[in-house]
Amino acid sequence: MFRPPFLPGINKTILRLTLAAAIASATSSPAADKVRVAFSAIAPSQGVLWVADVGGLLNKNNISAEIVYTRAAIETLVAGEVDFAQMTGSLMSSARLQGADPVMIASTQDTLDDYLVARPTVKSIEDLRGKRIGVFRFGSASHLRLIYVLPRYGLSDRDITLLQIGDSPERLIALSAGSIEATLISPPDHLEALRAGMKVLLKLRDLNVPYQGSGLVTTQRVLARKRDIARRFLKAYVEAIHVVKTNPEISKKAFAKYRQSKDEKRVEDAYQTLRDAVKAKPYPSVEGFRTIIKDASERIPAAKTANPKDFIDASLLEELDKSGFIDALYR
């Protein structure tokens, strides 16, 4: 039973009215639905979730979210330990091709935008033969994208030594220390590499290849059992994109919190990277998944007959779009 605290000097009538209002509010508003959400990197592409949290948009949609950072986002999602996760299309595709049921319901990035950076002694991409290249971990976006790029320059993963180093800051430390000769880095972290005297070998954006990058992923199980929660979560996500597009103050506050940075220039660079990449209507890219699946066909037999549309469930986003909700945010 709820008992009000002892407040000396408070008029009893006012106290009764205040208590009655609190009880009425509690009985008229259902408790917020609790969900667990994972994000997989301290990268700008993950920022929509951060803005949804710091901007109060999850609470606004009656969702209480426990947000966790994990390097095993796909494993925790498939195991049912989290309801939603932000990850790349390549990461979730590998799990789906092997029988799991993840689907992407919104996208924050649908082109390759990483930078291949190297030590000054590396003169060209072909010069990476026999060199050590750092990736986040095997099976991660930095690994799979590297494997996708190398054949364009006459190389394969057998021509290099791949090392699992960790997230971007750890790979940059390893690069500067000479433990590796090159790595893929997402913007704006490539600027740190340049400041440390490294060089850019390739801007993957110049390849102009559709490629499904980061997005919001759930499972078909969650969509079947918790569809209304998924609808409200996606609504908050779409509203967060609007905040990213229109409210730099809240957005940069979220970036500073989650990237644990007080450096205003670095926060600004990270924020602008997301703002430029994310679309108001964040439909996942069928062609982007097609690229990923085609690339995986040499490693995973199931990819040879896979339909890229099966990796996407845009039904909730289509509901929001057709209702006019997204357009109304920008009027």
User: How far apart (Å, rounded) are the C-alpha atoms in residues 181 and 188?
Assistant: 20
pLDDT for 82-116, tens place per residue?
Answer: 999 999 999 999 999 999 999 999 999 998 888 99
Q: Say what the pLDDT of residue 2 is.
A: 30
Rounded CA-CA distance 274/187 in Å is 9
> Phi and psi at residue 80, in whole multiples of 5°?
80, 15
pLDDT surpasses 80 at 23: no
Average pLDDT over residues 308-329: 98
Write down the H helix ranges in the chain.
12-28, 47-54, 57-60, 73-78, 89-97, 141-149, 168-177, 190-195, 220-225, 227-246, 248-258, 264-277, 286-296, 315-322, 325-329
Sorting pLDDT into bands at 50, 70 and 90, what band is 184?
Answer: very high
**pLDDT band at residue 8 using 50, 70 and 90 as cut-offs:** very low
Q: Which domains does the chain have, with CATH numbers?
A: 33-111+211-329 (3.40.190.10), 115-207 (3.40.190.10)
Q: Which residues are CB-contacts of 150 (< 8 A; sequence separation ≥ 6)? A: 125, 156, 157, 159, 160
Q: Specify the pLDDT at position 12.
A: 39
pLDDT digits (tens, 9 = 90+) for 239-285: 999 999 999 999 999 999 999 988 899 999 999 999 999 999 999 99
Local confidence band at 67 (pLDDT 50, 70, 90 cut-offs): very high
Q: CA-to-CA distance for 13 and 79, rounded, in angstroms? A: 53
Which pLDDT does position 16 carry in this prediction? 41
Q: How confident is the model at residue 15 (pLDDT cuts 50, 70, 90)?
A: very low
What confidence tens digit (pLDDT) does each residue in 203-251 have?
988 888 889 999 999 999 999 999 999 999 999 999 999 999 999 999 9
The better pLDDT of the pair 144, 216 is held by: 216
Cα angle, residue 53 at apex, residues 49 and 59 outer, rounded to 5°: 125
Taking CA 313 as the corner, what is the angle to CA 64 and CA 143, rounded to the nearest 5 degrees?
A: 85
Residue bearing tokens 């660079």? 269
> Is the overall model pTM greater than 0.85, yes or no?
no
- For residue 25, the model assigns a pLDDT of 40
Chain-centroid distance of CA 101 in Å reads 18
CA distance 183 to 238: 32
Quick one: average pLDDT of 188-208? 89
The backbone torsions φ and ψ at residue 217, rounded to the nearest 5 degrees and listed phi first, read -120, 140
For 119, the 3-state DSSP assignment is: coil
Q: Is 50 exceeded by the pLDDT of residue 35?
A: yes
pLDDT at residue 17, rounded to an integer: 36
Tell me the two tokens of residue 78.
């498939």
The pLDDT assigned to 148 comes to 83
In sequence order, what are the residues at sequence separation of 6 or more whose Cβ sits closer than 8 angstroms to the Cβ of residue 230?
Answer: 83, 84, 105, 218, 222, 223, 316
